[in-house]
Amino acid sequence: MITLYGIKNCDTVKKARKWLEKNGIEYSFHDFRDDGMDPVPLAKWLKEAGWENVLNRRSTSWRALTDEQKTKMDNALALTLASETPTLIKRPVTESAGQTRFGFKENEFSELLLKGNN
């Protein structure tokens, strides 16, 4: 089963959802704002990919952090901050067949989801 994490009004999440629907791929959607963010999958993502790949450093949520928070950022601080402010997480996050991807690139979705990996 595919789980797509994000925010329903995010343009990139909308593109990913539209792509999944166009390709007839079933998925469950977890909205960070409506459903919150469980620290267990977040901790797993941080351990596997590192905060540099999990957090969106171009987001308004990142820009709202203090310079000290940005300078001292590590996986532990990222876990705390992203649990409190899930809009810090790069969107969408896609989990399928034990693999996790951050962001949406059509070619990566095709590779991950259309080549028998789901």
Catalytic residue among 10, 54, 78, 93: 10
Residues 6 or more apart whose Cβ sits within 8 Å of residue 33: 7, 8, 86, 87
CA 1 to chain centre: 16
Instruction: Give the β-pairing of 27-31 and 2-6.
Output: parallel
Integer CA distances (angstroms), 50 to 13, 34, 77, 81, 86, in order:
21, 25, 12, 14, 16
Is 10 noted as a catalytic residue in this protein? yes
> What's the CA gap between 19 and 29, in Å, rounded?
14
Catalytic residues: 10
